[in-house]
Amino acid sequence: MTMTIEAKRRAVFTVLQETLQGDGLWRAMWRWQNHYAQKSQFELNGFLSDCKDIPEVANNRSQLYRQLIGILMDDGARLKPDPMDEMLKYQSAQQRSGSLDEMELFPAQDWTDVYEVVLTTLFGQLRSDTARVVKRYAMEQSLRHSISQELAYSFNLWGDDKHPLVLGDSALVDLKRLLNFIYIGVCECLGPVDADRILSLSIRSAAEVNRNAATDPRQLLEK
């Protein structure tokens, strides 16, 4: 039976969290996410071998292998909730401290599709006059705070059929900052309650169509 990536991630987490804790647990989860999430759920030897520098894995490899096989063949009733939120928090904290190694980092990603869904959903909930005010505010703040010129230019042109959003290699930090300026603009116009509702719906809409954990739209809300 083919499992979804989320179900596989929950299964791996359910087993690992019984043996690993803290840094070792999240390092192992990110290695699985980056290198094995798209593969068969039963490609476990390579995954456990990649984690041999984590003592709890090296010392319990046979046991972990048996437990993983067992839970992957189970009916799913024992699975823990999806750990992605906690994984993102760990990654964000590690990035801030500068202590991530390359196996815990997402490779460079093109956020264009996800970001366009977020923006289209968000601005689609605004009246045209409000949308213009919000966009103008976000542009002013982007230029004032030195957001990537390419990103600011693409956002400025975006919004009509002639100019699709093109992000290329825009840094995630700039995408977060631009979205935050947009959110503040909505707050200024509609208040924080409506702004929170609109932003939450926009992120959920993007999450529903996104198929790549590396561009999980929830990362756009991480501080």
Interaxial angle between packed helices 149-157 and 172-190, expressed in degrees from 0 to 180 and rounded to the nearest 10 = 50
- pLDDT reported for residue 99: 64
Same domain, yes or no: 120 and 217: yes
| Distance, CA of 28 to CA of 51 (rounded, Å) | 6
C-beta of residue 131 within 8 angstroms of C-beta of residue 118 = no
Structural domain harbouring 31: 5-100
In this structure, what token pair is assigned to residue 88? Answer: 């993102």
Contact by Cβ (8 Å): 141, 184? yes
pLDDT tens for the chain, 223 residues long, are 567 888 899 999 999 999 999 989 999 998 898 888 878 878 888 899 989 999 999 999 999 999 999 998 888 888 999 998 888 888 777 777 766 655 555 555 788 899 999 999 999 999 999 999 999 999 999 989 888 888 888 999 897 666 888 887 788 888 999 999 999 999 999 999 999 999 999 999 999 988 777 788 988 986 6
Give the pLDDT score at 104: 56
Residue 212 is predicted with a pLDDT of: 78
Q: Determine the Cα–Cα distance for residues 36 and 103; give it in Å rounded to an integer.
A: 12
Q: Is residue 105 a part of any domain in this protein?
A: no
Q: Look at residue 166 in the predicted model and tell me its pLDDT.
A: 82
pLDDT for the residue numbered 171: 80
Of the three residues 100, 133, 157, the one that is the final residue of a domain is: 100
Residues with Cβ within 8 Å of 112's Cβ and at least 6 positions away in sequence, in order, are: 165, 166, 167, 168
SS (H, E, C) 23-49: HHHHHHHHHHHHHCCCCCCCCCHHHHH
Q: Report the number of distinct structural domains present in the chain.
A: 2
The whole-number pLDDT of residue 167 equals: 83
Residue type, 32: W
- Answer yes or no: is 152 within a domain: yes
Q: Let me know whether 18 and 49 are in one domain.
A: yes
118 and 36 assigned to the same domain: no
> Is-contact 190 130, C-beta < 8 A?
yes
- Please indicate, yes or no, whether residues 135 and 210 belong to a single structural domain of this protein: yes
Q: Which two tokens stand for residue 89?
A: 């928090």
Same-domain check for residues 13 and 38: yes
Name 158's bridge partners: 160
Query: What stretch of H or E contains 144?
Result: helix 128-144
Q: Are residues 134 and 170 in the same domain?
A: yes
Conformational region of residue 39, where left means phi above 0, alpha means psi within -120 to 50, and beta covers everything else: beta
Q: Integer distance in angstroms from the first to the last C-alpha of the chain?
A: 38
Dist CA 80 CA 77 (whole Å): 9
For residues 86 and 124, membership in a common domain is answered with: no
Boundary (domain end) residue, out of 77, 100, 123? 100
Q: What values do phi and psi take at 170, rounded to 5?
A: -55, 135
Are 94 and 116 members of one domain?
no
Q: What is the pTM of this model?
A: 0.59
Which residue(s) pair with 160 in the sheet? 158
pLDDT of 59: 93
